[in-house]
Amino acid sequence: MALAIDHVTISASQLERSLAHYAALLELLGFIRQSDEIWTDGAGFFIQLVEARPGTRPYERHAPGLNHLGFGAPDVAFVERVRDEMRARGFEAPDVQHIGGATCLFIKDPDGLRFEISHYPPGVPVVS
């Protein structure tokens, strides 16, 4: 059996700016804020934000390292609701995409790291 991922730590260039973004997005994804900089899914998985060290390189989508984090949505309406709510809260959220039968939303954090929220109907493979 493979070990489960128990946490992800994200370094932000401006922690305060990113905290507002993540507070909105992670709440919409069902995460519970445990402290100022940590959210949990309630089942043992945590997302933590930290301040990046000065002078470090910014995130680049196609550079070595993490490309994006993907979350499976229960239906298309959920994907659309996340887009609409992020926009209503003043954050940028692009149009929903339809890729290989899946309905996908790619939201960038203030440093450009993408979160994918996608609904995969039965029979559609979970890849993007």
**Mean pLDDT taken over the chain:** 92
Residue ranges per domain, the chain? 7-53+67-119
Residue 79 in this model has a pLDDT that exceeds 60: yes
pLDDT at 57: 85
Q: Cα–chain-centroid distance for residue 69? A: 6
Indicate the pTM of the whole model. 0.88
Residue 128 in this model has a pLDDT that exceeds 70: no
β-strand pairing of 114-119 with 102-108: antiparallel
pLDDT at 61: 79
Q: What is the CA radius of gyration of the chain?
A: 15
Two tokens, residue 3 = 């070990």
Residue 34 in contact with residue 40, Cβ under 8 Å? yes
Query: Is CATH 2.70.98.10 the right assignment for the domain spanning 7-53+67-119?
Result: no
Band (63; pLDDT cuts 50, 70, 90): confident
